[in-house]
Chain A
């Protein structure tokens, strides 16, 4: 893992691909993991966004929240035929035993066709997903995505 305050990377898994994000708090780490997912999905391209989509996710644990957010974005990319570019706004709160996260993502519509670079991601996997704070104080969010 790199030693910047905030960032993301992929990590090795024999059949699939691991994604990891880190940052100063839970929310930043999760958003960086999302950025890693977007990079996998769109490849080297960085299209100019022309749309914005809002999502709300709630879950009983941060790990569930991470996996559900990633899966919601994977489905939404398919349904809206959008290539996601980045998270432009996010908020995370914990209330009545549940984590609630709101995100706004930018993307380019109509950019999905058979000749795009990038990977087709089937799903984010709950198995082995973690969101935790390390000794350095930085938070890390990681999980495996089925490719």
Chain B
């Protein structure tokens, strides 16, 4: 029996009723099976995702509900898969709602090449990508930066590497916010954070970050797929990475600053560790300006990595620039100022998405013109052995989730648990038998990221579709996976 009281609203939605210090209810997109797991965890482990949904509902200025997408699992303070939107006058900004991997996200590019060509060249292409894209611990990017350059990265985002030959100018149109957010202030980012990033722009990283060559295995929404330019068997490249060490250090630096702010402003936060600052406070403004800089760094990093990948494909398959098109790029650890309807009134809010993806429906501002009849593509990373997904948001999703979606499968087993159960070499062999080439910098990392350590991504996206807040467009099957 869990510590948090829940009630079933319908087949795919559960609620934590607003009681005690809660300012709004908690709402969790889940089916009976995933709710059973969450409830059992809630009664037995220190890290309790349902309690985290409840605690976020207690934060000052939170609007409508503390939300959890179907890939919910425990974070630190704020659940992964969590969404919280805050009033700009009374609300707070909380570090746990962004995390240490600021603007971690996914870019997917369409490659105009027959699937058979990839299959014929699978091993050689995997080797070339593995040696071309810097990944793994302490890896160094090819884009060497000075102190002045790093400030430009923080304000220019994806434009910085683009202007240095990484990618095509059309890429920007198909990046969330066109690859750069306003409000970034490099002076709010420590020298240490900048210094750590000098060599890391254009690196994939490690952990759950990856580069995958995938193909469209099945289309579920033909109209949206056509708008996105996806056909059965289309080849795509997906890149999952974020703002690297700069984002990590911003989180570390502001962990202390926001802890002080929580005490100074005597915030009624349910746990001292759910550190926060009023959005209008000096500390809050500085943290937001630093996060915006981190978001731009994430955009720059994915642009640089995708530029390297583009060159590999152009060289190996003699492709022209136009034969590689950026489908979309969207982050899932972010803060965004967005306008949403609350109790029938449109208002500007600060939306936290921690392991959740922006899913603006058809016709919404911010959706690229080409996609306006479908909504922005939602890029959901699954596992290296199963599938990834492309979804879209719905009007109901705009009303219920501030236009949000899942970001991945969501972990089922801990990293330590996965290491006990799986061996890196076995994972590589099993994937190979299934036609998936895996290249890893760390065999331990391969075991930690074993497909069995994650929830069933097909089920996760089906829950969101069942709830009417996201819609499935296409299922992507991996062919090649490069891990840090």
Contacts and interface: CB of A to CB of B under 8 A. Distances in A.
Interface of A: 10-18, 41, 43, 64, 67-68, 71, 74-75, 78-79, 81, 112-120, 122-129, 144, 146-147
Nearest to A43: B444
A114 B47 contact: no
Contacts of A43: 442, 444
Interface of B: 46-47, 73-77, 80, 96, 99-101, 134-140, 192, 195-196, 205-207, 245, 247-249, 251-252, 255-256, 259, 271, 273-275, 411-417, 441-445, 448, 484
Q: Choose among A14, A17, A64, A78 the residue with the greatest number of B CB atoms under 10 Å from its CB.
A: A14
B223 to A, nearest CB: 35
B137 A118 contact: yes
Contact of A14 (B73, B135, B271, B484): B73
B444 A15 contact: no
B68 to A, nearest CB: 14
B255 A122 contact: no
A117 B47 contact: no
B444 A78 contact: no
A114 B137 contact: yes
21 contacts: A12-B416, A14-B73, A14-B412, A14-B413, A17-B416, A43-B442, A79-B195, A113-B139, A114-B136, A114-B137, A114-B139, A114-B441, A114-B484, A117-B442, A119-B137, A119-B444, A122-B101, A123-B100, A123-B255, A128-B76, A146-B76
Given A114-B135, A120-B206, A15 B442 contact: no
Name B's interface SS.
loop
Contacts of B484: 114, 120
Q: Which 5 A-B pairs have the closest CB atoms?
A: A112-B138, A114-B136, A127-B76, A114-B139, A127-B273
A139 to B, nearest CB: 19
A114 B134 contact: yes
A27 B275 CA distance: 26
Contacts of A11: 416
Contacts of A81: 138
A79 B416 contact: no
B300 to A, nearest CB: 18
A124 B249 CA distance: 11
Given A116-B138, A127-B271, 19 more contacts: A11-B416, A14-B411, A15-B80, A114-B137, A114-B139, A118-B444, A119-B448, A120-B138, A120-B484, A123-B251, A125-B76, A126-B259, A127-B76, A127-B96, A144-B76, A146-B76, A146-B99, A146-B100, A146-B101
A79 B249 CA distance: 12
